[in-house]
């Protein structure tokens, strides 16, 4: 197969319209389905843009093509040339009468997983064969929508004059405290995979004012839930001359922009999730204590320094299609770098959307002496953070920021039952392949 020639001749399925009726077209893709009615054979060809019916009549189609359409297995890769014809009975109203039929890659039969849009195969097995599961239109739709989120995030951040930065993924000490780190040998030294780009984005914001990143984070937490991953992607943002309320507003606006872009650009993908009624979210602000009072009225337990999953779910029910910002968070429930406010409160916040936390953030400690004190309170050794502390000794303005999980936002927008559906190749406590 001359692939250069094919790319010049080939039409993607979504490009075939009424103007092609009666003309010859070349299409390439995967054999999604077939039907044999004796003297008439049908196959449905799928490429990354759509599906089209290929119709062969025994008395009009070359014998080798007619036979090939019967014996070629599902999900085989084929190239077909033929005449485009209007057909009211065909999906999308058009079909191709084949004049040539070439198999580029024969798929093994039977398939190990169901690749229909209504697959009954259990998620763990689908993930074992993720490369094949991604043939499904519904799976592809998730990642087309996720791609829109990524591009819309960058688009909005650029519009407010933030610069995109790339930060290290190998670190010498914990970014956020705690022990949930993946250790690795770094020549003669001990190092870790980064939990967050938190410390680095702060350093950069103190000179370039507004910075953002799409950062891969690793957390060695031994959980196994529908909402957690051990490797995830984060939208990160940091801004100088800002407190938590300034960056909460940025978070609200960028999230609204991302969702609006999905609604505009991914209508076809959203149609595969008919239960999803996506709306651009509103915003609501409340203190942590106000959130606790709401939970008490609804007889829902909360942690002393945190909200429970049940409490987050209730906020989603009480305030649908809304980003709920819970601020003035207890300082005991926030990392060492969050600015204290008074004795027990902080400049930290969480953002709850559709019943789940999508982001946490706040104003940072930019005073070296206070930062040293906060590290000690959290049981961390300031010597391990010397470079970080020193970066604030030479003209560091007040600053604030947040991180938001890409996969979790995708999960909540599409009402997916498990966050692993929103990851191409998930990494959790039990899964390291494919």
Judge contact between 295 and 253, C-beta under 8 A.
no
Q: Which residues pair with 353 in a beta bridge?
A: 323, 356
Which DSSP helix (H) or strand (E) runs through 30? strand 24-36
Active site residues: 219, 221, 227-228, 357, 360, 408
What gap in Å lies between CA 273 and CA 202, rounded to an integer?
Answer: 39
Closest CA to 401 of 213, 231, 230, 229: 213
Hey, how many other C-beta atoms are within 10 angstroms of the C-beta on 390? Answer: 11
Report the Cα–Cα distance between both ends of the chain, in Å, rounded: 30
Hey, how many other C-beta atoms are within 10 angstroms of the C-beta on 392? Answer: 21
Phi first, then psi: give them for residue 423, nearest 5 degrees: -125, 130
Hey, how many other C-beta atoms are within 10 angstroms of the C-beta on 267? Answer: 9
Judge contact between 12 and 47, C-beta under 8 A.
yes
> DSSP letter at 285?
E
Structure tokens at 310: 């049940």
Judge contact between 165 and 211, C-beta under 8 A.
yes
What gap in Å lies between CA 68 and CA 101, rounded to an integer?
Answer: 8
Phi first, then psi: give them for residue 238, nearest 5 degrees: -145, 145
- Beta-strand ranges (E) seen in 224-321 are 231-240, 282-287
Which DSSP helix (H) or strand (E) runs through 153? helix 137-159
Question: Strand, coil or helix: what is 92?
Answer: helix
Hey, how many other C-beta atoms are within 10 angstroms of the C-beta on 243? Answer: 17
Q: How distant is the alpha carbon of residue 232 from its chain centre?
A: 9
Phi first, then psi: give them for residue 350, nearest 5 degrees: -125, 150
What gap in Å lies between CA 355 and CA 421, rounded to an integer?
Answer: 18
């Amino acid at each position: 197969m001359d692939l250069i020639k094919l790319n010049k001749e080939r039409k993607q399925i979504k490009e075939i319209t009424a103007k092609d009726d009666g003309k010859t077209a070349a299409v390439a893709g995967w054999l999604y389905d077939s039907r044999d009615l004796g003297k008439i054979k049908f196959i449905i060809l799928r490429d990354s843009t759509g599906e089209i019916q290929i119709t062969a009549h025994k008395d009009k189609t070359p014998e080798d093509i007619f036979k090939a359409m019967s014996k070629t297995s599902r999900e085989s890769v084929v190239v077909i040339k033929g005449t485009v014809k209007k057909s009211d009975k065909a999906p999308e109203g058009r079909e191709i009468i084949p004049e040539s039929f070439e198999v580029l890659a024969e798929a093994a039969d039977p398939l190990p997983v169901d690749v229909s849009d209504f697959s009954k195969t259990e998620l763990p097995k689908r993930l074992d064969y993720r490369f094949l599961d991604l043939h499904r239109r519904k799976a592809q739709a998730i990642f087309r929508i996720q791609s829109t989120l990524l591009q819309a995030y960058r688009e909005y951040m650029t519009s407010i004059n933030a610069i995109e930065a790339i930060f290290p993924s190998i670190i010498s000490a914990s970014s956020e405290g705690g022990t949930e780190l993946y250790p690795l040998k770094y020549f003669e030294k001990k190092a870790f995979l980064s939990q967050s780009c938190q410390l680095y984005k702060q350093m950069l914001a103190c000179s370039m004012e507004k910075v953002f990143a799409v950062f891969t984070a690793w957390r060695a937490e031994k959980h196994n839930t529908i909402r957690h991953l051990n490797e995830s992607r984060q939208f990160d943002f940091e801004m100088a001359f800002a407190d938590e309320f300034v960056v909460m507003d940025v978070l609200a606006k960028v999230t609204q922009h991302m969702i609006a872009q999905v609604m505009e650009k991914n209508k076809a993908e959203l149609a595969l999730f008919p239960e999803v009624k996506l709306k651009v979210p509103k915003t609501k602000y409340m203190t942590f204590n106000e959130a606790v009072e709401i939970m008490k009225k609804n007889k829902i337990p909360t942690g002393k320094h945190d909200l429970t999953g049940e409490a987050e779910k209730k906020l989603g029910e009480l305030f649908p299609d809304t980003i709920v910002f819970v601020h003035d968070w207890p300082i005991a429930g926030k990392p060492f770098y969050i600015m204290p406010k008074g004795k027990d409160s902080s400049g930290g916040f969480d953002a709850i959307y559709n019943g789940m936390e999508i982001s946490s953030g706040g104003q940072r400690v930019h005073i070296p002496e206070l930062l040293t004190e906060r590290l000690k309170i959290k049981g961390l050794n300031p010597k391990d953070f010397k470079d970080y502390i020193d970066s604030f000794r030479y003209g560091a303005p007040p600053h604030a920021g947040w991180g938001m999980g890409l996969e979790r936002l995708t999960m909540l927008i599409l009402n997916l039952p498990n966050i692993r559906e929103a990851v191409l190749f998930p990494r959790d406590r039990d899964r390291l392949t494919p």
